[in-house]
Amino acid sequence: MLSEPEVQRALRNTIFPRVIASLAPGDALRIWVSGCSSGEPVYSLAIALEEYFDETPPAPDEIQIFGTDISELNVQKARQAVYSEAIGQRFSPEHLRRFFVKVHEGYQVDPLIRRRCMFGCHDLTRDFPYSQMNLVICRSLPADLPPVLQTRVAESLYRALQPNGFLILLPSESINFEGILYPLNNSEIPIYSKAKAEADLRLSQRELRSLSASLLTAAEEEGKRIARELHDSFGSRLARITLEVSGVEGRLSAQPELAEELRKVGQEIREIAKATHDLSHALHPAAVTQLGLAAALEGECATFSEQRNITVEFSAEGVPESLPEAVALCLYRVAQEALQNIRKHAQTKTASITLTGKDHAIVLVIEDFGQGFDLEDARARSRGLGLISMKERVRLVNGSLRVSSKPGEGTRVEVRVPIGEPSNGAATSSVGR
């Protein structure tokens, strides 16, 4: 039974993540339960899948679960999806409330679950198998199948799976898949993969992307916390000390030497206060949320131009007054990273940043007119970590990133992020530094 605890754990922790990771965008999720009896295993699977997507969205646009059995009577019962009161012993009260409807005969599976499940008669030892399945669950095969039928069943299950599909076999002793399917290690139940390396690689890529998203989010949240602490605690205390020093300095006019010493102390405190403010801003650019992206970028360009002696022209047109915080912060961080790359590598005295809202998108372009570089060479030498960071930030807001550069021709970074309808008020500015 698919409702057994060890099967449920394997589905949630091993099978569902791997199967979903194997899907390309737009693919339907296709599952076949062979030996479905009166349908309970199929509906149990559909319910487990629904609960999985509650916690790990998004779900595929189309989910198809096929249940087959050698008995026509079982197939008819499965299609009716009506079960006696005894089903309450296998499903929790919460499951009964959410996924079943109380009827005179007992409980009927909710239409939302039923519409994903299709049933038909099928004999795995004789009939041609279903095809293009992401997951096949084979139940109730006789343990004493003759060798010729074991081979036929093994070949049928192999053909039923997509190249990156998975098989669960219950019980496990009935078929030998050596040489055609690969058992997954460390699983409580027998799980086989048709393409072990590819499935593991796709899962690893998905897990790494999820990890990188979590790390970026955690870093921003921690930066915000530390910035708030610097501003609220150290910043205010330094400001108070600066005022006190100025007051004492005024009372020491009769002792010019002490007054001068105190003035130097006050100046050092003011420099520490400015450094604290700059550090707080670097950890969390509050101006992005307080003033808006265009104003924050304009200020960033002005500060960069002043500190680095590199003239950065900034312009903004058609930018909505308010943007989603994640989008605004992403574009601001990309601009910061690009400016630092210009400082380190471009060997130029001029650059430009433009911010434009058009066609339900916000477009950020950073250009310099320096020495440029070879993109392929940078990737080969692992010098593109800044570009990797930009790409990951942009991916997390469903945007696109294009970088073009050639030696001697400068570098152009373009980011496009989709947004909703622009508001009536849009900020426009053009500033030369």
What tokens appear for 291 in the block? 């003033």
Q: Are 32 and 68 in contact (CB under 8 A)?
A: yes
- Residue indicated by tokens 């012993």: 89
* Averaged pLDDT score across all residues of the chain: 81
pLDDT tens track for 45-60: 999 999 999 988 788 9
Q: And the tokens for 182?
A: 């690969």
Phi/psi of residue 165, nearest 5 degrees: -85, 170
Residues 124 and 232 in one domain: no
Out of 233, 253, 284, a domain closes at 284
CATH code of the domain covering residue 333: 3.30.565.10
Same domain, 235 and 360: no
- Is residue 318 within 8 Å of residue 356, measured between CB atoms? yes
Determine the pLDDT at residue 143: 72
In terms of domains, do 93 and 129 share one? yes
- Domain extent, residue 214, equals 206-284
Does residue 153 lie in a domain region? Answer: yes
**Residue percentage of the chain with pLDDT more than 70:** 77
pLDDT digits 0-9 by tens, 237-280 = 667 777 777 777 667 767 777 777 777 777 777 777 666 655 55
Query: Cα dihedral sign for 264, 268, 273, 274?
Result: positive
Q: Which residue has the tokens 């009161």?
A: 85
- Any alpha helices (H) in 252-324, and if so which ranges? 256-283, 286-291, 293-308
Asked whether residue 350 is assigned to any structural domain, the reply reads yes
End residue of a domain, out of 260, 284, 308: 284
Residues 341, 194: Cα–Cα separation, whole Å: 45
Distance of CA 103 to the CA centre of its chain: 42
The β-bridge relationship of strands 350-358 and 400-405 is unpaired
* pTM above threshold 0.75: no
pLDDT band (50, 70, 90) for residue 18? confident
Per-residue pLDDT tens for 65-105? 999 999 999 999 999 999 999 988 888 899 999 999 999 98
* Residue that terminates a domain, selected from 161, 194, 227: 194
CA pair distance 181, 151, nearest whole angstrom: 13
Q: Please give the tally of structural domains in the chain.
A: 3
User: What is the DSSP code string of 60-72?
Assistant: PS-EEEEEEES-H
Query: Pairing mode, if any, of strands 133-139 and 29-34?
Result: parallel
How many angstroms separate the CA atoms of 114 and 109, rounded?
6
Average pLDDT over residues 363-380: 80
Nearest C-alpha neighbor of 65 from the set 113, 19, 117: 117
Dmax (CA) for the chain in angstroms is 111
| Helix, strand, coil % over all residues of the chain, rounded to 5 | 50, 20, 25
Same domain, 15 and 124: yes
CB within 8 Å of 229: residues ≥ 6 apart: none
pLDDT score, position 122:
95
Question: DSSP 3-state assignment of 312?
Answer: strand
Asked, for residue 199, whether it belongs to a domain, the answer is no
**DSSP string of 342-366, one letter each residue:** IIIII--SEEEEEEEEETTEEEEEE
Domain membership of residue 338 (yes or no) is: yes
**Three-state secondary structure call for residue 113:** helix
